[in-house]
Structure 1
Amino acid sequence: METSLLEHDTFIIDGESGDNETEDGQRVVEVYELMGAGCFVGSFMYKQMSLYFALPFFAFLLGKAVRYSDTWAIATSRVAAIGGAVITVVVLCVLPVASDMESVTALVKRIFPVGRGLYEDKVANIWCSISPAVKLMQLYSKNTLARLCMVSTLALAAPKCIHLVKNPTAKNFLVTLLNCSLAFFLVSYHVHEKSILLPVMPASALLLHYPLVSVLVNTYGFIRLGSVSAGGGCDSVDDKIHIICLPFPPTHSIYPLIKREGSGLYLLAVAVIYLLAVQPLVWSHVDRLGEWSQRATHLLYLSAFGCVVLIGCDLAIPPPARLPDLWTLLITTYSCAHFVVIYLLTLLPDIPSPVCDGVPATGKKRI
């Protein structure tokens, strides 16, 4: 939690740190089913970006209710109670404006902004990256694009959500949050640059669970899966720990937004604070990095070099007059390629933990 709240992009973007931190706090509680369901609904009623986490929450709570109940009757009652909590919170949020249908309609449009564009400004997602070759917004209507985005998002999110229903552990929940929020960012409708903050939060939580990550990962902002020997707590010391970290690709992807708002110096300052905060986690485990992780360092250097070159070009070389957004689009497309790789890595069938995952999230035994 502390790593998530320290995440530097959250404080900088758009001057909305108050909104973002309120949203963070509402998402913190997910252990207790009814409270977690209610807090999550309150979160997306407060700020619709939280819908990026809707499918993982649904899959996690459904999986816990079905797999860790003694009888089907108990499972059904738990699902009904969660549904009741969701409906109650929605009613309480809508009740103040329920007498005015225009306000209710505006609320629905705010949560589901179908009437707006496919994306806002230059975003590091798939639709924006392919826009120079395929002008989707000129070829199709907004309703058609909204349906395309819905199908694409569900298709990308489904594999990990199904896995979470079958294996509703806390670790799988965090990985699915990262996977689905990336799916939403990459192909959902009306994505904003700052929407990348959503995948950052579960990634930060995974950093706390898997702190065996080198300084290069924190510095250069690429995600990698490495392996080291796990000691203690598990059945075998040969179990492998896979590492996920996503602190800095968002910083690169939102660079154009930060540049427009003149907040580059502030971002640099809080990025340094973030690095200093996670240094103890990094250095305490860096000597246990596996051979694969050490070889992957070359890829990290290459990735970081690309980031530096693109930002340097944007700062030093004016774009051609007929291509005013050249550097911005190259930066976002480069970041998008990283996010696609991260998404694919989260599809791995299992990411072992330093401790065994045999105990379900509820602490109850399976039927």
Structure 2
Amino acid sequence: MRITALLSELFIYIPAVLMYTRWMGRYYNKASPIDQTIIAAAILYQPSLIIIDHGHFQYNSVMLGLSLFAIVNLLENNYALCSVFFVLALGFKQMALYYAPIFFFYLLSVCIFPFSKMNLLRLVSIGVSVLFTFVLMFLPFVYKGGFGQIIQILIRVFPFDRGIFEDKVANFWCASNVIVKYRKIFTQDQLKKLSLLLTLAGIAPSSITIFIKPSKKLFTWCLASCSLAFYLFSFQVHEKSILLPLMPITLLLNEVDPDVISMVCWIANIALFSMWPLLKRDQLSLQYFVLGILSNWLMGNLSWIRMYLRMAKIPVLARELATPVLPHNLFWRFVIISSYTLATLLHILDYFFEPPKQLPHLWVISNVVLSFGCFMLFWCWTNYKIIQKATSKVKAN
């Protein structure tokens, strides 16, 4: 069965990544074919997706690949086909809803703006594509079990009855629950409403921006911000849900900007770190460390080792360092170094010491709080970049 996870990635996710990087190289970053291949390799060698799909045994690459095919067709202005692929992604795994607001507002905007040239035919074609695809997906369930099956599907898609916490996840609810005991203060219905309000507030900046300015250069940035907001604030989040924002975040490597690359590498490492308690339970510790080290070596994040080896008079190949490990901004340098230091310290404590008996989950909670802080700061940074790019006078497309 495990070979099916590999084949689904090979036939769906990898071609979608290659198509996306080819489009970006052709129309956006003007990267050469070899550079496009290197960027695609960096995106594909994202350790969190590899270890979850092939170690934890999932099929997230199918949903992510279908979503990426939708993005590629959107960039190519094939809006009806984009809608079909995105509905297929939703049907395969409902977590693709993390991307839905950005797709919705972009497609709506290109249909109704400018009002003087409203494209009703485009709007109808998108609507028909969505409805037809949904009908085809639900038809077998209705045929076998009647319309009552649709209710059962919706209950499983939105599992509110499980409560706001499935496990200790690096989102707002689990991190702040250390101080505020939500289940003692609020009812289940109140938590649903509160979660909805915070999620709407979190996705608002990216959704409003892409609706007002449906720019292709903003689309991936808005996807990253919106999906990360869902992860941080929505109801019932799992550790593996970080894979949803990680997909558009790693696509930002196509910006070919050293500062952006540094930020993406940092948050990819934090994402992997945030899943450590889950991977440790599943006895994937070795894979965790090996994939983490190899991915950082691939990105050039271990090039600083060469500098210290030279200082110690150990002969190493003399060449220029790779892409800067840290961004130029002093604040972000401090944040990244501090987070790596704390994460390393937590790993050491977790390996050598048992947590206190009165605080049995201390190391896990520390992981949650640290990871949440990093994700929250990165979400703020993506929104800053979105505003910066949206107000830039450079031509959008």
In which range does the TM-score fall when normalised by the shorter chain? 0.7 to 0.9
- What is the Cα deviation at residue 286 of structure 1? 3.5
* Greater relative contact order, per chain length (Cα 8 Å cut-off, separation 6+): 1
Which residue identity does 2:46 align to in structure 1? Answer: E
Cα distance in structure 2, aligned partners of 1:214 and 1:150: 30
Deviations 1:232-290 (A, max 9, x none): xxxxxxxxxxxxxx32110111111111111121122223342344349x989747998
Corresponding position of 2:282 = 261
Equivalent residue runs for 1:122-201 within 5 Å: 122-201=168-247
The answer to whether 1:8 aligns with 2:47 is: yes
Question: Are the counterparts in 1 of residues 94 and 157 from structure 2 also a CA contact under 8 Å?
Answer: yes
Percentage of pairs with the same residue:
28
The answer to whether 1:302 aligns with 2:338 is: yes
Corresponding position of 2:387 = 350
Which 4+ stretches in 1 moved above 6 angstroms? 282-285, 287-290
Equivalent residue runs for 1:1-367 within 5 Å: 1=17, 2=40, 3-13=42-52, 15=55, 19-29=59-69, 30=71, 31=74, 32-67=78-113, 71-72=117-118, 74=119, 76-99=120-143, 100=145, 101-213=147-259, 222=266, 246-279=267-300, 286=323, 292-293=328-329, 296-348=332-384, 349-352=386-389, 357-360=394-397
Cα distance in structure 1, aligned partners of 2:354 and 2:86: 45
* Unpaired stretches in structure 1, ≥5 consecutive residues: 223-245, 361-367
Query: Partner of 1:248: helix, strand, or coil?
Result: helix
TM-score by length of 2: 0.75
Question: Are the counterparts in 2 of residues 123 and 332 from structure 1 also a CA contact under 8 Å?
Answer: yes
Question: Are the counterparts in 1 of residues 175 and 368 from structure 2 also a CA contact under 8 Å?
Answer: yes
Which residue identity does 1:55 align to in structure 2? Answer: P
Cα distance in structure 2, aligned partners of 1:4 and 1:45: 24
Cα distance in structure 1, aligned partners of 2:64 and 2:324: 33
Question: Are the counterparts in 2 of residues 149 and 189 from structure 1 also a CA contact under 8 Å?
Answer: yes
TM-score by length of 1: 0.81
Which residue identity does 1:271 align to in structure 2? Answer: G
Structure (1 or 2) with the greater helix fraction: 2
Judged with a 3 Å threshold, the aligned counterparts in structure 2 of structure 1 residues 78 and 343 are, in CA distance, closer, same or farther, namely same
Cα distance in structure 2, aligned partners of 1:18 and 1:120: 18
Which residue identity does 1:26 align to in structure 2? Answer: L
Question: Are the counterparts in 1 of residues 339 and 370 from structure 2 also a CA contact under 8 Å?
Answer: no
| Pairs aligned (count) | 330
Question: Are the counterparts in 1 of residues 218 and 389 from structure 2 also a CA contact under 8 Å?
Answer: no
Cα distance in structure 2, aligned partners of 1:298 and 1:145: 35
Judged with a 3 Å threshold, the aligned counterparts in structure 2 of structure 1 residues 120 and 295 are, in CA distance, closer, same or farther, namely closer
- What is the Cα deviation at residue 327 of structure 1? 0.9
Cα distance in structure 2, aligned partners of 1:284 and 1:67: 47
Which residue identity does 1:350 align to in structure 2? Answer: I
